[in-house]
């Protein structure tokens, strides 16, 4: 993973883990790597990896069982909420960009439909 200098590393790792959750690559209730293994996986400082898990616990995305490790939340409603939050973030950035180009709502909707149909044909 290449890190962006405009955002703290721990937040970027959390964002990546959220995407893995939403995609289903991390399943509800599954065991997460140890903080040490997470640090190796993302090539980050172990203290940063610990911070990732602390912040994810605050966001109710994971929980720790003493002596057993850290696990993905089992709350599917929380996962749906995270999915919606992330979708809104992406949508906001996209719409601001379209507005900056001077496009109107109808133009944006037309472009989305056109691109969506193109992508559908490639699947």
For residue 1, is pLDDT > 90? no
pTM: 0.82
For residue 2, is pLDDT > 90? no
Percent of the chain with pLDDT over 70: 98
Distance CA 23, CA 45 (A): 26
**25-64 pLDDT, tens digit each:** 999 999 999 999 999 999 999 999 999 999 999 999 999 9
3-state helix, strand, coil in the chain (%, to 5): 65, 5, 30
Task: Work out the end-to-end distance of the chain between its first and last CA atoms, rounded to an integer number of angstroms.
Answer: 26
Q: Please, which residues have CB within 8 angstroms of residue 109's CB and are 6 or more apart in sequence?
A: none
CB burial of 6-45 (b: ≥16 within 10 Å; e: otherwise) equals eeebbebbbeebbeebbeeebeeeeebeebeebbeebebe
pLDDT at 123: 56
């Amino acid at each position: 993973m290449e890190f962006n200098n405009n955002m703290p590393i721990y937040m970027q790792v959390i964002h990546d883990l959220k995407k893995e959750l939403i995609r289903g690559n991390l399943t509800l209730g599954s065991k997460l790597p140890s903080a040490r293994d997470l640090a190796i996986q993302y090539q980050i400082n172990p203290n940063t990896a610990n911070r990732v898990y602390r912040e994810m616990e605050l966001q109710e995305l994971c929980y720790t069982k003493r002596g057993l490790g850290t696990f993905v939340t089992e709350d599917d409603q929380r996962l749906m909420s995270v999915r919606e939050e992330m979708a809104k973030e992406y949508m906001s950035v996209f719409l601001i960009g379209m507005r900056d180009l001077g496009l109107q709502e109808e133009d944006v909707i037309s472009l989305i439909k056109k691109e969506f149909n193109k992508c559908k044909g490639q699947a």
